Structure 1
Amino acid sequence: MLLENKKIAIVGGGPGGLTLARLLQLKGVAVKVYERDTNKAARIQGATLDLHYASGLKAIKTAGLLKAFKDNYRPGAEKGRVIDKHGNILFDEHAEVTTEDFDAEHFRPEIDRDALRNILLDALQPDTVVWDSQFVTMSPIGDAWKLEFKNGTTATADIVIGAEGANSNIRSFVTPVKPFYAGVVIVQGNVPDAATTIPDMHHLLQGGKIYAYGNERYLHVSSKGDGSIDFYMSSKKDENWWQNSGIDFSDRDQVCSWFKNEFPDWDQIWLSLVEHANLPLYLRPQYCMPLDKGWDTLFNLTLLGDAAHIMPPSGEGVNLAMLDALELSEYLTNGEFKDTQAAIASYEKEMQHRAASEARDAMDMTEWMHAEDAQTKFLQFFGSNT
């Protein structure tokens, strides 16, 4: 096997990196995951995820974790409602009867991010994840790498996989190409104990998702298993708006004033989100890797997930990362390649082709979601898929 007697370092303990670690360990590979969080409870994970039959779920099944997934997913959380800015229900998936069939191509079960992460963490060998290991830089040592972390520790590995997300530092060791600004900023927040704090929104959500469009803005609201609500508010902004707006998103009065100016004729039910959210709200400018840029394959270094192909949200991000992990693990262990460079080259060719196609769709989606007729288009989309 190509990885016999080799040490693998995965930088980043998100779903992609942890999935890769699990799959490699099943093949007897020595692997460590270096994660910047101080421990698994260091920060709250984001909104729920829907895993797809041919990508995220496929990786879960191959990793032998389908039972654990079924024990932790949230039936019905994938159902959505289209709500207009006045709070009227325009389309309701909750009225439909669905079959929860994990062998059905169109079934997309939802799971909280922290639950998925815990499933993957629990499946790894003890001490696989090295916490409090924020990557700073690395340098070659012969055919291997020496990694340096912010806490002053170092590690060596024969092969390094960058899986540390959109702001990957390892990306620059693979390619000089940088992501371009996608034109929108997402303001993200979370409301705890939604049934008590914002009961009207909690009732409207019905344990699932809400999609709302208007005034070239987009709001996405989703329930979480802990009783909280996550929300994303997306709008077209200059790239540096989030730095230059002068708004303190940790100040309740300023946040509410910003919302009233940004969404001037939206119903009070939407304002309730920022009135009761934990502060600060998080500002996330969206970026995308160029669609026509690849890189020269290295024999001991590659990328997966957002580190390789950051793009605006499209519902595919985590699924792409987990599929990357699945394919990379197979190429490195299936015995079909003469050396690691050939294996990584084949992986990168497939990954980049897939990512370019998905990124085009994500950029198209970003454009129409912030158009004046976005609500009409989304209702047409729902109608074509029912």
Structure 2
Amino acid sequence: METSKKINLIYGRQIAIVGGGPGGLALARLLQLGGADVKVYERDINQKARVQGAIVDLHYHSGLKVLEAAGLMDAFKIRYMQGADSFRVVDERANILLDDFIPSGRYTFGDEHFRPEIDRGALRDILIDSLLPGTVVWDSQLINLTFSNGQWEMQFKNGTSASSDLVIGCEGYRSRIREYLTDIKSVYTGAAIIQGEIDDPKTACPEIYEIFNGGSLMAMGQEKMLTVQPRGDGGLTFYAASMYPENWEKTSGINFNNPEEVYAYLIHFYNGWHPAFHKLFKACSHFTYRPLNYHPLKLRWQTRSNIIILGDAAHLMPPNGEGVNLAMMDALDLSNCLTSGAYQNIEAALAAYEEMMFARTYPISEETVEGIKDFASPNNESIQKLIQLFGGDEKI
């Protein structure tokens, strides 16, 4: 009885990953372990070009699973932020509704309920350091992609170019690669966040620093939400969420490049909230307005044999704690499909990956979109629902 010969679908192929976030870098690591010739093209000028944002929690069945497959768990255990997985939920007067600091540490590695937090920059560094020298090509913002003579030709903003047999878009919700698979655009949820960064919260807003105590803080009031998260460098990131009309950034009359104008708006909008939150806003010198969009839940496209996307490029959804984990699982599934020898050609492998990806992300996206109003514009009933969801039974 003859057995089918396993085909190495990456042998002899030049693979280009566009975007150096957790999904793209995890994919590069996994493909290199399988012997792939891969480059990561990243728009940042260098590895330290910017703050990567707040912390991210990795989950047992996704992010941590991928790090294990990539041989990076030991590096992660050195860099993760112990205790940062704890949190508090408070009301607009800073009264504690749910306190998860007391039982913090009850879970550890190997427990499926453990969701250790790590600074996004630290996670990125772990993944970059695991790659072969020269894998990441910095200052490479893709501006044009054409297919010629059996290869993709990529042109970058800095004037350089490169060619590849397989292009994988991992560059987030503004993906240029997605345009070559579908013309469907993202949809506005009706909610948006105003994001702020504070480098020295211990001095600039000591009351908030004491309340969030190295973990995460969620403050809920009528029709508005405020989330505060630590950064690995000692700073913090906050997200002020509510429901806003589409294109409100342009119609509000607020210049988001002027911190004083944004501060004045937030003080008015959060009128009646504890003064500690007002000090938080005042301590911020840079704000960013972020509308929360999502890809249509039934989004699909015709599989192609030489171009594919993952993470937010493929299945954008509002923030729900799953984004990085889903992107990393996409990377694991895609690498397995390409290197396992289970498929006779690359198109079949890519089609199998897409089926796994959509089956995993559809129910999560649907639940997240349906619950966006409870998150961004809660009322008494939805606040109680969120308290119960996070594990408390306190009454408001």
Interval containing the TM-score (normalised by the shorter chain)? over 0.9
Aligned to 2:318: 312
From 373, 380, 383, the equivalent of 2:388 is: 380
* Aligned counterparts, 1:1-386, within 5 A: 1-279=8-286, 281-369=287-375, 370-373=377-380, 374-383=382-391
CA distance in structure 1 between the aligned counterparts of 2:220 and 2:239, rounded to whole angstroms: 12
Please give the per-residue CA displacement for 1:75-95, whole angstroms capped at 9, x wherever unaligned: 110111001000111110011
**SS of the residue 1:166 aligns to:** coil
**1:153, 1:343 → 2: CA distance?**
31
Question: What is the CA–CA distance in structure 2 between the aligned matches of 1:347 and 1:335, rounded to whole Å?
Answer: 13
- CA distance in 2: counterparts of 1:206 and 1:7, whole angstroms: 47
Note the residue ranges of structure 1 that are not aligned, 5 or more in a row.
Answer: none
Report the AA paired with residue 240 of structure 1: N
> How many pairs are equivalent?
385
CA offset digits 1:88-115 (Å, max 9, x no partner): 1111001115334211111000000000
How far, CA to CA, are the matches of 1:383 and 1:131 in structure 2?
43
TM-score by length of 2: 0.95
Question: Any idea what the Cα deviations from partners look like across 1:271-311, whole Å, max 9, x if unmatched?
Answer: 111101132x0111111011112111000110000000111
User: 1:288 is matched by which residue type in structure 2?
Assistant: Y
Partner residue, 2:5: none
For 2:305, the aligned partner's letter is F
* CA distance in structure 2 between the aligned counterparts of 1:153 and 1:66, rounded to whole angstroms: 36
Deviations 1:104-146 (A, max 9, x none): 1110000000000000010010110000000112111233211
Query: Identity percentage over the alignment?
Result: 45
**In 1: Cα distance, 2:267 partner to 2:106 partner:** 41
Deviations 1:13-39 (A, max 9, x none): 000000000000011100000000000
Q: Gaps (5+ residues) in structure 2?
A: 1-7
Change (3 A) 1:131 1:85: same
Partners of 1:314 and 1:365 within 8 A in 2: no
Please tell me the root mean square deviation across aligned C-alpha atoms, in Å. 1.4
Please give the secondary structure, in 2, of the residue aligned with 1:295.
coil
Q: What SS does the corresponding residue of 1:230 show, helix, strand or coil?
A: strand
TM-score where L is the length of structure 1:
0.97
| Cα distance, 1:197 vs structure 2 | 1.4
Q: Secondary structure at the match of 2:391?
A: helix
SS at match of 2:371: helix
